[in-house]
Structures are given as structure tokens and as C-alpha cells.
């Protein structure tokens, strides 16, 4: 019985995906006989699905006009998982952007209103980072609160938590005294979730780590605002004060770079910290699997740097420099005409 039900649902899905299906092609797709397909088609008709038979050389079967699939049986958490997966999958598998968007739209149309609302709350922007290091998991409830506020254009009262998830304020402090922000965009970058918000207190734009927020929804609405800079991608990637802290790596080190903070922030690995020093310099703190790994990432910025810390990082940088010098000398000698 389970196999029959699954085959019938697959048949329904095929009929909904194309206008006309020849009987033999349906049988081939289902891996069964034409007689079984006819029986399954009769089952669908008994369930109320308007399956129409078309006669002639181009004939076959199709769903009647005006038919829509029944609501899908997804609960809130499943809908949240689907919304996140379909929007983040194109970042790891090439060529899926349009397909994933169409799949998400199709699922939303077939879902009940309450579940569809949950999915629509997580309309996000995913930006690419060339160093896709792992990020800590995020609480689905936090995503739902923030995503709903973005979609409904409702202000949030937020409290920024410490990196370990504890509150900065005393446990009995009045939460309403937190920062009041207008949540405009939900963004995924380098495996981390960020909220682009406008701070009502100082009228400044902020990029806030969602997993570092304790957010409380309000009923106060807000209107659209002109984004800072050219686009949302540039603003998020070039903001050095995103609330990031170094990821948990075997080795963690830092250096002062002869580049502005907003330039380094755009290309720094996820889970690194960029500290603004002045208009021309910043300090980058990051982790890797080895000291040589950190030194290699620092060298990729192609700028002068100093103040390497700890000493293990400085020694690793010296070792790499020496190996590269030897390799460069050998390359120069082999290219010199004899």
C-alpha cells in the first residue's frame, strides 16, 4: 500500500509538471506497466483530481484546467528548513539560482497560509565570500523573529549579546531599554547571518550578527530608506564592525595591514575580526589550521603589514618568505639564457 501511494503521488507530481503525458512515457517514468498507470489514474479521479484523457496521435493525459495541488503537509520548522535550503543552495552548487527561486515560489503557492508566511519571513540576500569557513549554528526562532520583522516592516528592540551568548546587561535589566532598530534586510555571508538595520537612537546604519541578538518584536512600523553606499552587498561586506569574533581554530593570530578596514573586511575570511585603526590601516585577527595558513591568508592581501602576533605567526611568516625567496631565485636562474 505504501508503494502504491508513493507511486500515485509521483504520478500526480508528473501530471502537474507538464501539460500532456503519453501513457507509455508515464509508465516508463514510474517504472511500471501501462495497465497499472491507468489504474492509478482512476485512483486520482476517485480522489477528485480532474485527469483528462486526450485522444489522437498527440494524445495522453493531463490535469484539468484550473487545478492546483493540495496544501503540502509541512510544519513550521520544515518550511523554515526549505526556505533556508533553497536560498542558500545556489551558493554551493553552480547554476541553481533560477531553479531554486522557482522551486521556492512553487512550494509557497502550494502551502497553507500560515506556513507560507513563515517561509516568506526569510527572504534573504546571500553574498559570496571566497573563504567559506564554518559558522556556528543559529537558533531558528531568532531567524523567524528577525525575518518576520523585516517582511512586515516592524521595528525591533534588540540587545547585543556577548560572543558566548550571555547578556551584557544584568539578568533583571529591563529589556525594553535595548536598542530600537528598523530591520531592513536579512543577509547571509560567509556562513553567517546578518541583519542590516537602521538605528533609531543615533540615526546610523548597522550590520548586526543575528546569532548575537536578543530581539523583541514591536507593533511600530517604518518606511523604506535609501541604503548606504551603492548596494546591500557592498555595505555588508565592507562593514568591519559586524559583531564578528575569531572562529575557534587551532591557531589564531593578528597583524596590522596597510589597508583601510572596509577593504580588508570585504575579503577577510568569515569568522575573522577587522579593527579600524585609521584611514589607511587596520588590524586583522583570524584563525586557521596552522600558523603558516594564517601567514598565507595575510599575504593574499598584497600590502605591507607588521605587528604580527603571536611570535609563532611571525616565525611562520619568516619561513614562508624564505621558501618563496629560494623558489624565486631558482626560477630566475632557470629562466636566464646560458
pLDDT of residue 257: 96
Check: CB of residue 12 under 8 Å from CB of residue 49.
yes
pLDDT in tens, 39-80: 989 888 887 788 888 887 777 888 775 555 555 556 666 767
How many domains does the chain contain in total? 4
Q: What is the CATH number of the domain that holds 22?
A: 1.10.10.10
Q: How does residue 105 score in pLDDT terms, banded at 50, 70 and 90? A: confident
* Radius of gyration, CA atoms only, the chain: 28
Q: How does residue 285 score in pLDDT terms, banded at 50, 70 and 90? A: very high
| Among 6-20, 75-89, 221-235, 283-297, the least confident range | 75-89
Count other C-beta atoms under 10 Å from residue 35's C-beta.
10
- Beta-carbon contacts of residue 208 (< 8 Å; ≥ 6 apart): 158, 160, 181, 194, 195, 197, 242, 243
pLDDT in tens, 173-222: 544 457 899 999 888 876 778 899 999 888 999 999 888 888 999 999 99
Top mean pLDDT of 115-124, 262-271, 289-298 is at 289-298
Considering the domain boundaries, does residue 127 fall inside one?
Answer: no
Domain that holds residue 260: 251-330
Which secondary structure element, helix H or strand E, spans residue 127, and what is its range?
A: strand 125-127
Considering the domain boundaries, does residue 132 fall inside one?
Answer: no
Q: Which three cell numbers stand for residue 66?
A: 484550473
Of residues 67 and 87, which shows the higher confidence score?
87
pTM for this predicted structure: 0.55
Of residues 67 and 247, which shows the higher confidence score?
247
Verify that 145 and 207 share a domain, yes or no: yes
Q: How far does Cα 310 stand from its chain's mean position?
A: 33
Considering the domain boundaries, does residue 183 fall inside one?
Answer: yes
pLDDT in tens, 136-149: 677 778 888 898 89
Verify that 304 and 325 share a domain, yes or no: yes
Verify that 214 and 161 share a domain, yes or no: yes
Considering the domain boundaries, does residue 68 fall inside one?
Answer: no
Q: What is the 3 state secondary structure string of 242-307?
A: CCCCCCCCCEEEEEEECCCHHHHHHHCCCCCEEEECCCCCEEEEEEECCHHHHHHHHHCCCCCEEE
pLDDT of residue 267: 86
Amino acid at each position: 500500500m505504501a508503494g502504491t501511494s508513493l507511486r500515485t503521488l509521483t504520478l500526480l507530481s508528473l501530471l502537474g509538471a507538464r501539460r500532456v503525458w503519453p501513457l507509455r512515457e508515464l509508465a516508463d517514468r514510474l517504472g511500471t506497466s501501462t495497465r497499472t498507470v491507468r489504474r492509478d489514474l482512476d485512483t486520482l479521479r476517485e480522489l477528485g483530481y480532474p485527469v483528462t484523457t486526450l485522444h489522437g496521435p498527440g494524445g495522453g493525459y493531463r490535469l484539468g484546467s484550473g487545478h492546483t495541488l493540495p496544501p503540502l503537509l509541512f510544519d513550521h520548522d520544515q518550511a523554515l528548513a526549505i526556505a533556508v535550503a533553497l536560498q542558500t543552495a545556489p551558493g554551493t552548487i553552480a547554476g541553481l539560482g533560477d531553479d531554486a527561486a522557482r522551486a521556492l515560489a512553487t512550494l509557497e503557492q502550494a502551502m497553507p497560509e500560515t506556513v507560507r508566511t513563515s517561509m516568506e519571513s526569510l527572504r534573504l540576500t546571500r553574498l559570496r565570500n571566497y573563504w567559506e569557513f564554518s559558522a556556528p549554528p543559529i537558533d531558528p526562532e531568532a531567524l523567524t523573529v528577525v525575518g518576520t520583522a523585516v517582511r512586515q516592516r516592524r521595528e525591533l528592540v534588540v540587545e547585543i549579546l556577548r560572543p558566548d551568548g550571555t547578556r551584557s546587561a544584568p539578568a533583571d535589566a529591563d529589556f525594553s531599554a535595548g536598542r530600537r532598530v528598523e530591520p531592513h534586510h536579512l543577509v547571509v555571508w560567509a556562513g553567517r547571518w546578518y541583519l542590516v538595520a537602521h538605528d533609531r537612537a543615533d540615526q546610523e546604519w548597522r550590520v548586526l550578527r543575528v546569532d548575537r541578538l536578543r530581539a523583541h518584536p514591536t507593533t511600530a512600523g517604518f518606511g523604506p530608506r535609501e541604503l548606504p553606499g551603492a548596494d546591500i552587498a557592498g555595505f555588508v561586506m565592507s562593514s568591519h564592525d559586524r559583531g564578528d569574533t575569531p572562529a575557534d581554530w587551532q591557531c589564531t593570530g593578528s597583524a596590522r595591514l596597510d589597508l583601510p578596514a572596509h577593504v580588508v573586511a570585504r575579503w577577510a575570511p568569515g569568522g575573522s575580526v577587522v579593527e579600524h585603526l585609521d584611514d589607511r590601516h587596520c588590524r586583522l585577527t583570524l584563525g586557521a589550521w596552522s600558523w603558516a595558513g594564517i601567514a598565507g591568508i595575510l599575504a593574499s592581501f598584497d600590502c605591507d603589514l607588521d605587528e604580527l602576533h603571536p611570535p609563532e605567526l611571525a616565525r611562520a611568516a619568516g619561513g614562508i618568505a624564505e621558501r618563496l625567496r629560494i623558489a624565486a631565485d631558482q626560477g630566475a636562474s632557470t629562466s636566464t639564457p646560458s
